């Protein structure tokens, strides 16, 4: 039955796309985020490259309807294209060929679709529709995890979302980062959405979804989620008109929540300040050190999955005591083939210094462009929703970049989709500004002529 329901939904989307080809772009987002082919048991699971089929439909629909309306390429799209080409070269010359091509199989789609998105997101309605689709797809995972967490389920590495998997958004630290990062976007829809006008029902859903987002780091017990919550709190503070009240309220809620948190969660969070006694933290630091040594000999990177070559060794220190006497014990841990545990070191190790610079430039330009829109339209009464959306997109990106310090999600497709939306939004606002300037110029010329 599950296969039939999912297949009917996908089929309905595909058929409706015959009349409105843009719906195929939304279909790709649904398939890429939810991965319904992995939710199915029989027929859907046997369809190879379902996301590639949806991408082909999306691009084909664009070629039929929008390609003739002109194409303009933003600087970030060119940088993405350069990064994609560079990653292709490093994959061809990768140290770990089989695993490198396995990652390339999905990573190139993420970057390529981010390059493509601005071409098809030509109107504000399309931008909003795509963002809404992304958030609702992620919400399917987050609401599932939030309910299980509220009912006492979850645990480190054991919170099952829609399916028992540990890749993509289904991985604990990844979904924790994305869930917290998307809160500003959810709040934007609670105030400025037009597809679902923000009445009481919409606002109630958005507030409940934000609560579920906050529950995800508790359910996954991912320390990255707690760091992202603190970071987002600081980012949102800058736009608060009553900062003292904001600080006091946030502090009260944090203290009030502590008694209701599972003991397993609070004990795991305390290891953030006891990194020397935590093997997971020791592994991260050792891998980062290995990466720095690795790129000294390979400054252009070792290709995808190059971390599988690492051999690391580190010391852990633990303290035990009964209040009157404390004993300190040290041990040496050896490991091999441990993941990057950081998007920054992931880019450095896999794509070398050129790839890391390109990746940082893409994000830096995005932050700068959203800041420009945020400041320019801060007090704009004609379009009061532009500055909040720019702020929400910027806060998503900032929170992601903080979480990416501790999770290897440099090529996470959901994030690349957000980057594509950023480019489209920036280009749409710029086009509107040029159109208004042209209109004013024509009116001035007409006034002079008369």
Cα–Cα distance, 155 to 136 (Å, whole number): 24
CB 405 within 8 A of CB 241: no
Quote the pLDDT of residue 337: 83
Quote the pLDDT of residue 77: 96
> Which residues touch 262 (CB under 8 Å, ≥6 apart)?
152, 154, 218
Nearest to 418, CA basis, from 96, 163, 135, 104: 135
Quote the pLDDT of residue 140: 92
Q: What is the H or E stretch that residue 344 is in?
A: helix 343-376
> Which residues touch 287 (CB under 8 Å, ≥6 apart)?
307, 310, 312, 338, 339, 340, 341, 345
Quote the pLDDT of residue 420: 96
3-state secondary structure labels for all residues of 36-90: HHHHCCCCHHHCCCHHHHHHHHHHHHHHHHCHHHCCCCCHHHHHHHHHHHHHHHH
Quote the pLDDT of residue 444: 47
Cα–Cα distance, 177 to 225 (Å, whole number): 6
356 CB burial (10 A radius; 0-12, 13-18, 19+): buried
Quote the pLDDT of residue 37: 77
Q: What is the pLDDT along the chain (450 residues), one digit of tens a residue?
A: 667 777 888 888 888 888 899 999 999 999 999 888 777 656 666 566 788 888 899 999 998 888 767 678 899 999 999 999 999 999 999 999 999 999 999 999 999 999 999 999 999 999 999 999 999 999 999 998 888 888 776 656 567 777 777 778 888 889 999 999 999 999 999 999 999 999 999 999 999 999 999 989 888 888 888 899 989 998 988 877 776 766 666 665 665 555 555 555 555 555 555 545 456 677 888 889 999 999 999 999 999 999 999 888 766 655 555 445 455 455 677 778 888 889 999 999 999 999 999 999 999 999 999 999 999 998 888 889 999 999 999 999 999 999 999 999 999 999 999 999 999 999 999 988 888 776 554 544 444 445
> Which residues touch 80 (CB under 8 Å, ≥6 apart)?
111, 114, 115, 362, 419
SS3 197: coil
Nearest to 103, CA basis, from 115, 88, 114, 116: 88
Cα–Cα distance, 203 to 113 (Å, whole number): 31
Q: For Cα atoms 219, 225, 229, give the angle at the middle one, nearest 5 degrees.
A: 120
Delimit the domains of the chain by residue range. Answer: 1-70, 275-336
């Amino acid at each position: 039955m599950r296969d039939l329901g999912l297949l009917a939904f996908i089929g309905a989307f595909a058929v409706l796309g015959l009349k409105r080809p843009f719906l195929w772009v939304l279909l790709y987002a649904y398939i890429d985020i939810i991965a319904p082919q992995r939710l199915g048991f029989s027929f859907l699971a046997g369809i190879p490259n379902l996301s590639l089929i949806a991408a082909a439909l999306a691009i084909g629909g664009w070629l039929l309807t929008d390609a003739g309306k002109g194409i303009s390429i933003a600087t970030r799209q060119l940088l993405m294209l350069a990064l994609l080409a560079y990653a292709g070269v490093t994959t061809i010359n990768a140290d770990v060929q089989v695993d490198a091509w396995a990652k390339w199989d999905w990573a190139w789609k993420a970057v390529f679709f981010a390059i493509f998105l601005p071409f098809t997101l030509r109107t504000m309605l399309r931008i909003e529709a795509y963002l809404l689709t992304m958030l609702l797809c992620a919400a399917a995972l987050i609401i599932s995890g939030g309910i299980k967490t509220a009912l006492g389920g979850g645990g480190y590495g054991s919170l099952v979302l829609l399916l028992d998997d540990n890749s993509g958004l289904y991985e604990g630290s990844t979904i924790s980062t994305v869930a917290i990062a998307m809160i500003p976007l959810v709040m934007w829809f609670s105030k400025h959405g037009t597809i679902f006008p923000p009445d009481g029902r919409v606002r109630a859903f958005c507030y409940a979804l934000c609560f579920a987002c906050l529950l995800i780091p508790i359910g996954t017990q991912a320390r990255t989620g707690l760091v992202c919550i603190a970071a987002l709190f600081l980012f949102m503070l800058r736009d608060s008109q009553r900062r003292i009240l904001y600080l006091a309220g946030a502090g009260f809620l944090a203290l009030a929540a502590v008694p209701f948190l599972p003991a397993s969660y609070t004990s795991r969070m305390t290891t953030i300040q006891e990194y020397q006694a935590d093997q997971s933290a020791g592994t991260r630091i050792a891998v980062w050190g290995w990466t720095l040594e690795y790129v000294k000999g390979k400054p252009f990177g070792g290709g995808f999955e190059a971390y599988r070559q690492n051999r690391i060794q580190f010391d852990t220190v633990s303290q035990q005591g009964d209040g009157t006497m404390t004993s300190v014990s040290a041990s040496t841990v050896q490991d091999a083939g441990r993941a990057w545990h950081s998007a920054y070191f992931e880019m450095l190790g896999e794509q070398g210094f050129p790839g890391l610079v390109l990746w940082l430039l893409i994000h830096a330009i995005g932050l700068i462009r959203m800041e420009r829109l945020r400041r320019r339209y801060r007090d704009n009464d004609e379009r009061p929703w532009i500055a909040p959306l720019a702020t929400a997109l910027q806060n998503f990106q900032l929170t992601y970049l903080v979480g990416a310090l501790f999770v290897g999600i440099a090529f996470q497709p959901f994030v690349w989709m957000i980057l594509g939306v950023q480019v489209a939004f920036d280009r749409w606002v710029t086009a509107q500004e040029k159109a208004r300037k042209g209109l004013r110029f024509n009116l001035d010329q007409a006034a002079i002529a008369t």
